[in-house]
Amino acid sequence: MRRRFVIGDGFASYWGPSTENVQHRHAAFQVTVAVEGEVVVTDESGACHRGVALIVPPMVRHRMSAAPYLRTWFVEPQCSFAAGLRERCGAGITAAADLYGLRDEDIRFAGAPEPSGTPDPRLMAAMEALARRDIQVTQAAAEAGLSPQRLRALARRQLGMPLARWRIWQRLTRAALALIEGQSIAEAAVTGGFADQAHFNRQLREMIGFTPATVLPMLRSSASRGDVDGD
């Protein structure tokens, strides 16, 4: 089975083998499906969760066990598809056998705002500004018509995390795309908006559980086979 890596609007997916990683937490919902057997995830308390498919909410510290082949999606918390994930799993790791047949097409439009009107349109405007330009949170808040304190409060309540964590996730996505395009780790760190390669290394390990050097072969392997998409 070949490796496959996709970065879409509001989500990313990786299909391939998984190696043991360290405890980490990311700024996205993680949906992982086992092609054979079960997905095994250990949470911060040491509890082991098993299932053909598991949902890990944002900011939940966990560790993935090695597996020969998994299908994993990372869905950003402001996306419409995340609304259903949020409703069913709350703050804990949740079994989701009904998602065994999940496809990229099912969340292709996950970048659209939730129909219910949340997240708040002003929060969405600030997030779009932060994703588009290297500006301070205070400036993004002003452009959205919010105080910095109100913007941070909205992010914590509606995204379930500090806005700073979400912004790191955006930078990691940009850096990953740069690695796929052939940039070195040091170059990708700059492209992503990190202070230096060491900063990139620390943030990726904290968010994903791997270092850039570990992730690079996965990305390059997928790119060389033409299995990388960017929407």
pLDDT (tens digit, 9 = 90+) per residue, 62-84? 999 999 999 999 998 888 888 88
Closest CA relative to residue 94, chosen from 83, 102, 86: 86
What is the per-residue pLDDT across 154-207, written as a single tens digit (0 to 9) for each? 888 888 888 888 888 889 888 988 998 899 999 999 999 999 999 999 998 888
What are the φ/ψ torsions at residue 211 (nearest 5 degrees)?
A: -95, 165
Specify the pairing of strand 67-75 against strand 4-8: unpaired
Confidence of residue 115 (pLDDT cuts 50, 70, 90): very low
Q: What is the pTM of this model?
A: 0.78
